[in-house]
Structure 1
């Protein structure tokens, strides 16, 4: 262990680790590290205010981390995070209902259609180039279409 860490008061270590874990939640969001970071911060404050030995501090941290994780999980179940845009980050899903122009004839169920300034692969009934099709669903990066 580096000397500067060994020379630190334990409460500063707890507070530093807690702040680092909370900051790591911003970089790697998963709504998990914030609870462990909060437990470390509370442990640091308790170690600062009360004369606690290192084993007692570790026990307090373990209990607080479990309680925080359990409480956070229960709170998230009771208050789920919802979005007003169910197709966020699903570009194919956003195209459902759009009418597109076929740029490469759909033959044997496969072709291409113009979407914005690009082309997407499409799957559907055989139609000629230039025909209009409506997107009915998206299967990965392939749009499923029907003739208009």
Structure 2
């Protein structure tokens, strides 16, 4: 039937595929450890205890040795271009939750909901214009 090398290879491939669904870039290195163990048992017949020790050591060495180098490659580059906030100042929106000078409300601009503040009271349903932005909060005035 299938030997330990086959099963370690399957485990390694599954862990690497699972990395696509789980953030953090950790499972990938356990997958590398499983593939290293598969290579070991393919070349040298080893007992289960030795296989588990090799898996643990290979996984931890690859995790701590390679993660820092590979994380930027897997993470990609962050870019502000094309974000939802680009060019939002000057856009028109509609108030969905009333805004008062003391308490922020909510608005919809270009189909996206935002937290909004204003120096004036603006009731729900009223049109507004975005005059500024502070982090993820828009500053608006009534239209």
Distance 1:74 1:134 in 2: 41
Distance 2:94 2:33 in 1: 58
**How many equivalent pairs are there?**
136
Distance 2:43 2:67 in 1: 29
Matched, 1:98 2:89: yes
Distance 2:14 2:43 in 1: 21
Matched, 1:137 2:134: yes
Distance 2:90 2:39 in 1: 60
Q: State the shift of 1:84 in Å.
A: 4.1
Matched, 1:43 2:37: yes
Q: Any residues of structure 2 matched to 1:103-142 within 5 Å, and which?
A: 103=94, 107-108=100-101, 110=104, 115-117=109-111, 120-126=114-120, 132-139=129-136
- Superposition CA RMSD, Å: 3.5
Q: State the shift of 1:120 in Å.
A: 4.6
Q: Secondary structure in 2 aligned to 1:21? A: helix
Distance 1:54 1:119 in 2: 55
- The answer for the alignment partner of 1:15 in structure 2 is 9
Q: State the shift of 1:24 in Å.
A: 0.8
Distance 2:77 2:3 in 1: 44
- The answer for the alignment partner of 2:26 in structure 1 is 32
1:55 to 29, 34, 49: 49
Q: Secondary structure in 2 aligned to 1:26? A: coil
Distance 1:80 1:38 in 2: 15
Name which of structure 1's ranges 51-60 and 40-49 shifts more when overlaid on structure 2.
51-60
Q: Which runs of 5+ in 2 are unaligned?
A: none
Q: Are the equivalent residues in 2 in contact too, given 1:95–1:135 (CA < 8 A)?
A: no
